[in-house]
Each structure stands twice: as C-alpha cells, then as structure tokens.
C-alpha cells in the first residue's frame, strides 16, 4: 500500500523535486483531467463514458455492462478501449482493455480481466471504469509539462510531425504542478489525440521512491533525486 504523502512542498524535500504525492492522488484520475482536456479548444480526445463500479476486489463487481453496449451503439463502434479511473490493464492490454463485441457477456469477460490485472498490480480502480473510443494508432509521443511550460517531448520513433500545438494548449491550461501528457496519432486519419496524463513526480511504493511518469531519458526523471529523499515518514502530516 502506498503511503499517503501531501503534495505541498515540505522543508525536508531537496530543491528541484517537482512533486511528491501518492500514486492514488485524485489528479491521476482520468475523471479529473479528461473533463479539463475535453474543454480545451483544438485538443482532440477520445469519446469517453464513465461507468460506476459497485463492490470491491473481494466481491463480485456490480457493473451495468449493457450501458457499455449502449455506448458502443451510440458512437457506432465495434471496438472500444476500457480502463480504470487511475490506470489501464498493466500486464496484457489486449485481454484487459480491448473490447471488440457489443455483447454484454463478452464485455464482462474483458472488464473482469481488467479488474484482475489492476488488483494484481495493486492499482486502485477508483470506483469506476472508463470506456473510450478505440483509436488505432501508429505513433505515440509523451510531453512533460512543468507549471505551464513544456520541458521536452519523448518518442520512440523519429517522425517529423508532432502535436506540439495541442501540447502547448494543454500546458496553457494546466499551470500548476508537473505532468506527463500522452498523444497518439490515428493511423488512418493522421489526426492526433490526447489520451492520458499523469503527475510527474515521486511517490513511495513502500520500498523505494518511484517516478509517477516513465521517462525515456532518466537524466530528466524525478528519480534522479531518489538518493536525496528523506524517509517518507518525515513527509507525513
């Protein structure tokens, strides 16, 4: 279980650490940042619907799977993506996040696998799942934003086109804290979509300090400050 740590600056923190928070901070919820992104003119996001989940990991979850069928029918989709509020499936995305049937029983199979994978990775569900428009993509890029300024972008390919204009619009709205912001490009339309965000800082997983957001360039990751971090008990209120 992650230790709950306040995100306000603490005198025991070394200079330069952008953020310290629990992984389960509310700002890591899709239901927190998706409505913000959805209101930014010129920023394209997948069509998304949130479905409440009642129960817990040790009880059979109560989910209206027919609402997911209705969502697929409303957007005329045969494929959608499903994830938890904090995280998507962490071990096998195809079995735990990809839905290609409008049959509620088939949908249930995928959602239960998502819940199993989230439980196995000790990630909170957040009381809801999100079903999203499926975006077949050929490129991905992640931007790092700190207090309204883009620090750099990271991509595994060497393409010449990037959604810099969209990232700039996101950074103009999110003026506080440090964030990672992910985009994918639709492989047929070449249109970019902003799909995910996360706090870019450190959290304590019970054993060590870990970065919220994965960095390709480790020299720019908050994990460079791990050896300078005080014991997490000192940061608790």
Q: What is the pLDDT of residues 73-116, one digit of tens each?
A: 999 999 999 999 999 998 887 899 999 999 999 999 999 999 99
Residue 1, pLDDT score: 35
Q: What is the pLDDT of residue 109?
A: 96
Owner of token pair 């709950």: 4
Residue 2 pLDDT > 50: no
45: exposed, middle or buried (Cβ count in 10 Å: 0-12, 13-18, 19+): buried
Looking at residue 7, what is its pLDDT? 54
The reported pTM is: 0.90
CB distance 1 to 216 below 8 Å: no
Q: What percent of the chain has pLDDT over 90?
A: 65
Mean pLDDT of 156-170: 91
pLDDT at 237 over 70: no
- Confidence at 154, pLDDT banded by 50, 70, 90: very high
Ramachandran angles phi, psi of 226, nearest 5°: -55, -45
In 6-124, beta strands by DSSP E = 48-52, 80-84, 98-99
pLDDT, residue 91, reads 83
**How confident is the model over 6-62, as pLDDT tens digits?**
555 667 777 777 788 888 899 999 999 999 999 999 999 999 999 999 875 566 789
Long-range contacts of 178-181 (CB under 8 A, 24+ apart): 178/18, 178/19, 178/144, 178/145, 178/146, 178/147, 178/222, 179/144, 179/145, 179/146, 179/213, 180/142, 180/143, 180/144, 180/145, 180/212, 180/213, 180/214, 181/142, 181/143, 181/144, 181/145
- Beta partners for 142? 154, 182
């Amino acid at each position: 279980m992650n230790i709950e740590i306040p995100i306000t600056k603490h005198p025991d923190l070394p200079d330069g650490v952008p953020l310290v928070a629990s992984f389960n901070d509310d700002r890591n919820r899709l239901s927190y940042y998706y409505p913000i992104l959805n209101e930014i003119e010129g920023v394209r996001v997948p069509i998304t619907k949130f479905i409440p989940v009642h129960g817990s990991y040790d009880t059979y979850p109560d989910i209206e799977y027919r609402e997911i069928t209705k969502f697929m029918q409303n957007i005329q989709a045969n494929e959608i993506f499903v994830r938890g509020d904090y995280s998507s499936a962490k071990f096998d995305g195809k079995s735990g996040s990809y839905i290609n049937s409008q049959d509620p029983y088939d949908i249930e199979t995928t959602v239960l696998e998502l819940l199993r994978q989230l439980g196995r990775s000790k990630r909170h569900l957040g009381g809801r799942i999100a079903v999203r428009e499926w975006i077949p993509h050929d490129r991905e890029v992640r931007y790092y934003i700190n207090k309204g300024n883009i620090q750099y972008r990271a991509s595994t390919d060497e393409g010449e086109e990037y959604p810099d204009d969209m990232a700039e619009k996101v950074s103009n709205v999110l003026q506080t804290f440090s964030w990672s912001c992910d985009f994918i490009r639709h492989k047929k339309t070449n249109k970019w979509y902003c799909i995910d965000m996360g706090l870019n800082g450190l959290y304590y997983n019970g054993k060590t300090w870990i970065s919220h957001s994965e960095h390709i360039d480790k020299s720019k990751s908050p994990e460079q400050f791990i050896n300078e971090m005080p014991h997490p008990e000192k940061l608790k209120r």
